């Protein structure tokens, strides 16, 4: 069969890598210039719009299209493909609002009694600043731009000055464009953050291994929020009682609510959770696989990803059972200097071959492209170095061993990925 993968980041390289392992797949196509993806897939020339992609899929006889990033889903790519009789993995546009609008998602959770932080919605800077001046919230508080912002639309304000600055940046200076048209101010939940993902065909669901990611740019969870600087996935992150609560109080009410509101969810649904003293609460929904959680989680998949995705598209997820390894994976992101702010591109990347010769290491490329005989940086997050091992300590060590082989001008990465996991699991050197 022929598969089209839409998207160009490290998540999409990991998806392409997993899809390429399926014995049923004979050819993979991509709309990306990512050098890692292009080592496994054939490029589509001139595909710049959703209609171009649908035309290509129809003309080429693509059997399955897999959508990695959120923007095409929010823009309605699934609706377009389905209207043309094309098989595609992902939620329809109405369901994608769970990520496309933080306001819609918060109000959806409130309608269906899904545990989440208290929040208020603001349509303009004046009313938001007035609420801050009235001291209606306890610090720290969270300010969220409504729309898609590549992980950069959330600010944790420690005091009134930081809150005012965030509101003005989002709603007055328009640093995020239309994403800042409305915003949420909400209480800051305290606890352990966790990513809980499921495959679902709208009725049935199958959880993926639990992962923990690292949003802040620098060690010790300092610095601005990013799209993610690393992740690990291991058995033991969730006890059975807590996972049962997540399913009963969050996952199942979400799927039931989506069906009741006329948009049954098909694809991957991502629950960004905080495990608080009161129990698990939802920080956010994502309507696709996370990045870099995907790189960590797919390293643990021992069965055919394409078989699972096709079952989701057919409403037959109850007929397949993904097989996940009990081994542990760790992923460390190498980013461009300045990320998540402004950064330069075109820096030559050295050591890719040497890194992948390290034991159990795979380097998923995110912001890269080929320039002649060289591979150069082409984005903020450049590489996601992953390892799979029998213990978290080994997986972390091997991922950082891969990192040591790699270099490009201005590269930076966190040096503490997985350390809190080691403490929680009682592992270490």
pTM of the predicted model as reported, rounded to 2 decimal places: 0.93
Report percent pLDDT > 90 for the chain: 90
pLDDT band with cut points at 50, 70 and 90 for residue 36 = very high
pLDDT for 43 beyond 80: yes
User: How is residue 348 annotated by DSSP?
Assistant: B
CA quadruple 105, 110, 111, 114: dihedral sign: positive
pLDDT band with cut points at 50, 70 and 90 for residue 423 = confident
Q: Would you say 293 and 198 are in contact if contact means Cβ atoms under 8 Å apart? A: no
Please give the average per-residue pLDDT across 383-387, as a whole number: 98
Indicate the angle between helix axes 125-133 and 160-171, nearest 10 degrees.
170
| Separation between Cα atoms, residue 208 and residue 290, nearest integer Å | 12
Q: Would you say 217 and 333 are in contact if contact means Cβ atoms under 8 Å apart? A: no
Q: What is the pLDDT of residue 427?
A: 63
| Separation between Cα atoms, residue 367 and residue 176, nearest integer Å | 20
pLDDT band with cut points at 50, 70 and 90 for residue 173 = very high
Q: Would you say 116 and 282 are in contact if contact means Cβ atoms under 8 Å apart? A: yes
The pLDDT tens digits of the residues spanning 87-117 come to 999 999 999 999 999 999 999 999 999 999 9
| Separation between Cα atoms, residue 406 and residue 361, nearest integer Å | 12
Please give the average per-residue pLDDT across 228-235, as a whole number: 95
| Separation between Cα atoms, residue 413 and residue 133, nearest integer Å | 37
Q: What is the pLDDT of residue 355?
A: 97
pLDDT band with cut points at 50, 70 and 90 for residue 263 = very high
Strand partners, 121: 184
Cβ burial, residue 248 (10 Å; 0-12/13-18/19+): exposed
Q: What is the pLDDT of residue 422?
A: 84
The pLDDT tens digits of the residues spanning 323-335 come to 999 999 999 999 9
Task: Domains for the chain: give ranges and CATH numbers.
Answer: 2-92 (3.40.50.20), 124-181 (3.30.1490.20)
- Residues in contact with 101: Cβ distance below 8 Å, sequence separation at least 6, in sequence order: 146, 147
Please give the average per-residue pLDDT across 70-94, as a whole number: 98
For the chain, the first-to-last Cα distance in angstroms comes to 46
Nearest CA to 217 out of 298, 326, 337 is that of: 337
Q: What is the pLDDT of residue 46?
A: 84
Q: Would you say 374 and 312 are in contact if contact means Cβ atoms under 8 Å apart? A: no
| Separation between Cα atoms, residue 422 and residue 321, nearest integer Å | 29
Quote the mean pLDDT of the chain.
Answer: 95
For the beta carbon of residue 67, count every other beta carbon within 10 angstroms: 28
Report percent pLDDT > 70 for the chain: 99
| Separation between Cα atoms, residue 414 and residue 341, nearest integer Å | 16
Nearest CA to 227 out of 329, 143, 153 is that of: 153
What does each C-alpha distance from 130 to 10, 164, 331 come to in angstroms? Answer: 41, 10, 42
């Amino acid at each position: 069969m022929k598969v089209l993968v839409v998207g160009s980041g490290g998540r999409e390289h990991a998806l392409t890598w997993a899809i390429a392992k399926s014995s049923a797949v004979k050819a993979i196509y991509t709309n990306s210039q990512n050098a890692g993806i292009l080592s496994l897939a054939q490029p589509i020339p001139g595909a710049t719009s959703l209609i171009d992609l649908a035309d290509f899929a129809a003309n080429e006889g693509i059997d399955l299209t897999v959508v990695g990033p959120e923007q095409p889903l929010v823009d309605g790519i699934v609706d377009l493909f389905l209207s043309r009789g094309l098989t595609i993995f992902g939620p329809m546009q109405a369901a994608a609002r769970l990520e496309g609008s933080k306001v819609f998602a918060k109000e959806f959770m409130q309608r269906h009694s899904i545990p989440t932080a208290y929040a208020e919605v603001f349509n303009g800077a004046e009313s938001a600043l007035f609420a801050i001046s009235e001291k209606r919230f306890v610090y720290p508080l969270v300010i969220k731009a409504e729309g898609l912002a590549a992980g950069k639309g959330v600010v944790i304000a420690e005091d009134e000055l930081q809150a005012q600055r965030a509101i003005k940046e989002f709603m007055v200076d328009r640093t995020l464009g239309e994403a800042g048209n409305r915003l949420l101010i909400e209480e800051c939940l305290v606890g352990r953050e966790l990513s809980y993902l499921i495959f679902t065909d709208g009725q049935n669901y199958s959880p993926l291994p639990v992962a923990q990611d690292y949003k802040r740019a620098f060690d010790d969870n300092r610095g601005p929020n990013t799209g993610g600087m690393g992740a690990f996935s291991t058995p033991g992150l969730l006890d059975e009682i807590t996972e049962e609560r997540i399913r009963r109080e969050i996952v199942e009410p979400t799927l039931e609510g989506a069906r009741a509101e006329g948009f049954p969810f098909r694809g991957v649904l991502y629950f960004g959770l905080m495990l608080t003293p009161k129990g698990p609460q939802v920080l956010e929904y994502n309507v696709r696989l996370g990045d870099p959680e995907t790189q960590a989680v797919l390293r643990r998949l021992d069965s055919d990803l394409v078989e699972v995705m096709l079952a989701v598209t057919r409403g037959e997820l109850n007929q397949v059972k993904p097989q996940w390894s009990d081994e542990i994976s760790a992923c460390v992101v190498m980013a461009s200097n300045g990320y998540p702010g402004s950064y330069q591109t075109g820096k030559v990347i050295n050591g890719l071959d040497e890194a992948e010769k390290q034991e159990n290491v795979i380097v998923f490329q995110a912001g890269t492209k080929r320039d002649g005989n060289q591979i150069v940086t082409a984005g903020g997050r450049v590489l996601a170095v992953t390892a799979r091992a029998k213990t978290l300590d080994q997986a972390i060590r091997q991922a950082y061993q891969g990192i040591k082989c790699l270099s490009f001008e201005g590269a930076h990465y966190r040096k503490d990925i997985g350390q809190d996991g080691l403490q929680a699991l009682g592992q270490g050197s």
